[in-house]
Amino acid sequence: MSGERFTFTVDGVRVEAEPGQTVIEACDAAGIYIPRLCHHPELPPVGHCRVCTCIIDGRPTSACVMPAAKGMVVENDTPALTAERRTLIEMLFAEGNHFCQFCEASGDCELQALGYLFGMVAPAFPHLWPKRPVDASHPDIYIDHNRCILCSRCVRASRTLDGKAVFGFEGRGIDMHLAVAGGHLDESAIAAADKAVEMCPVGCIVVKRTGYRTPYGRRRYDAAPIGSDITAKRLGAKD
Amino acid sequence: MAKPKLATCALAGCFGCHMSFLDIDERLVELIDLVDLDVSPLDDKKSFTGMVDVGLVEGGCADERHVKVLREFRERSRILVAVGACAISGGVPALRNLAGLDECLRVAYLDGPTVEGGGVIPNDPELPLLLDKVYPVQEFVKIDHFLPGCPPSAETIWAALKALLTGADLNLPYPLFKYE
C-alpha cells in the first residue's frame, strides 16, 4: 500500500489505518473486533448480512465495505448496536431450520457463536419452518439448505478463489436461495478441498465423513467467544 | 422458614434435561437442603396443592395435554424456567414441522413399510389431540428464564437453580451457555 497512514477512532480508541483499508480491515489489524457473518478476509466484501453495521460519523454503515478515512468516528460496541445485531441473528434463526443440537457445525458455527456473543437465549420471532432440500448427490460433499443463511461466501469463494463459479443465488426476497451450477452437486465442478466448502460459516456445505471429529470442549468457540483471536492482538500489545 | 418449592415437568422432550438435572450427582444432597420437590416426575407427585417458587419446563408443546400442563405450571410457579432446546425452540420433535402433521401420521400409520393391512391413525379419545405443529413454550405462556442446551449441562442447571433459589443474578459463564 502507498500513501500515509492515518488514524480514526472506534468507541473512543485511536486506530491506525492505511489508505485502501476498510473499517473492518483496519480494526482487525488493530485488535478491535467488529462482529460479522458474511465477511471473510480472503473474499471481496459485499455487505450482505449487516451484522458489522456500526455508527460511522453518525450513520449506520457496514464496516466491511466502508473505506476507512482520516478522523472517522466509529461506534461499534454499544448496547444499541448489540441489540440490533442480536435481532439480525434471531431473524436468521427464525428464517431457516437451525437445529444446533445435532448439527455437525455446532461449536464451530459462526451463526451460533454470534448468538452466544449477543446473548440470544430464545427465538424472538416465530419459526417459519420452511421446507428446504438437502443435496447429498456428491460423493464427498452435501448441502443442507435448511442451514443456509445466504451469506454468499461460497458464491464468492467459488468464483474468486476456486475459479469455478459453482454457486449463485436464485429467487428474490424470502424465496431467495442458493443454487448450484448444473442443478445438483454431483453435476458441478465442486471438490471437498475447495475454499467455497471451507468458508461456509454454518453447517450448510459439509464435507461428508468429517462430522463430530473434534471433541466437545475443543471446538473453535467452546472456550472463548467469537472474535477472541482478534481482540487478543490488542490485549497482547502495549497501550 | 419453609424451604422454597421446586416443580418440574417434561412435555415434548426426551427426558434428557431431567437426566442432566440428576447429573448434578452429590449436589442433590445440597439441593435437598435448598428446596422441597413438589410436582415432578422425579417424585411422581401429580397435582399441585399450592404455589411453587420455581417451575422447570422441559420440552415443547406437541399436543393439547402439553399446553394444559404448561398453563398449569405457569399459574402455579412464581418463576417459570424453560429448560433445554425443545422447550425454547421445539427441538428435535419440531422436525415434524418440516414435513407437516398429516404427512407424519400417514407415513407412520398408513403407508409405512411395516404397516400391514391398511393401518389406522390412532384416534382413541384417551389420546391427547396433536397440535398442527410443535411449538416453543414461550408461544403459550410467559417464561421468566431460558436455559438453553440440549440438554443444558448439569453445571448449567445447578448454576441456574442456585442463582434462582438464592435470589442471585442468573448470569451463565460463557462455557455454560450452549444451544446443544
pLDDT in tens, A54-65: 999 999 999 999
Name the pLDDT band for A206 (thresholds 50, 70, 90): very high
Give me the total of CB pairs closer than 8 Å, taking one residue from chain A and one from chain B: 58
Domain with CATH 3.10.20.740 in chain A: 6-77
Q: Which residue has the higher pLDDT, A192 or A233?
A: A192
pLDDT in tens, A38-56: 999 999 999 999 999 999 9
Is it the case that residue A5 has pLDDT exceeding 70? yes
The verdict on B179 touching A (C-beta cutoff 8 Å) is: yes
Residues A113-117, mean pLDDT to the nearest whole number? 97
User: Position of cell 400417514?
Assistant: B106
Is it the case that residue B68 has pLDDT exceeding 70? yes
Strands ordered across the beta sheet of B5-10 = B36-37, B5-10, B52-58, B77-83, B145-147
Percent of chain B with pLDDT over 90: 89
Check A123 against B88: CB less than 8 A apart: yes
Using CB atoms, which residue from B143, B146, B179 is nearest to A100?
A: B179
Best of A104, A110, A129, A220 to disrupt the B interface (most B CBs within 10 Å) is A129
Contact between A67 and A61 (Cβ < 8 Å): no
- Please report the pLDDT score of residue B166 as a whole number: 86
Question: Which of 3.40.50.11540, 3.90.226.10, 3.40.190.10, 3.40.50.700 is the CATH number of B5-93+131-177?
Answer: 3.40.50.700
Range with the lowest mean pLDDT among A7-11, A39-43, B109-113, B151-155? Answer: B109-113
Break chain B into its structural domains and give their ranges. 5-93+131-177
Check A99 against B138: CB less than 8 A apart: no
Is it the case that residue B29 has pLDDT exceeding 70? yes
Contact residues, A window 92-151, toward B, CB-based 8 Å cutoff: 93, 97, 99-103, 106-107, 112, 115-116, 121-123, 126-127, 129, 131, 146
Name the pLDDT band for B92 (thresholds 50, 70, 90): very high
Q: Which residues of B touch A116 (CB under 8 A)?
A: 174, 177-179
Is it the case that residue B129 has pLDDT exceeding 80? yes
Question: Which of 3.30.300.30, 3.10.20.740, 3.40.50.620, 3.90.1150.10 is the CATH number of A6-77?
Answer: 3.10.20.740
For residue B161, report the phi and psi dihedrals to the nearest 5 degrees: -60, -45
Architecture of the A86-218 domain? 2-Layer Sandwich (3.30)
Name the pLDDT band for A126 (thresholds 50, 70, 90): very high
Q: Which residues of A touch B173 (CB under 8 A)?
A: none
DSSP conformation letters of B141-166: S--SEEE-SSSPPHHHHHHHHHHHHH
In sequence order, the 6+-apart residues with CB closer than 8 A to the CB of B90 are A127, B60, B97, B133, B134, B135, B136
Name the pLDDT band for A234 (thresholds 50, 70, 90): confident
Name the pLDDT band for B116 (thresholds 50, 70, 90): confident
Check B148 against A126: CB less than 8 A apart: no
Name the pLDDT band for A2 (thresholds 50, 70, 90): low
Strands B61-63 and B130-135, sheet pairing:
antiparallel
Q: Which residues of A touch B95 (CB under 8 A)?
A: 99
Is it the case that residue B39 has pLDDT exceeding 70? yes
Q: How far is B150 from chain A (nearest CA, A)?
A: 6
Check B136 against A123: CB less than 8 A apart: yes
Domain with CATH 3.30.70.20 in chain A: 86-218
- Please report the pLDDT score of residue A22 as a whole number: 98
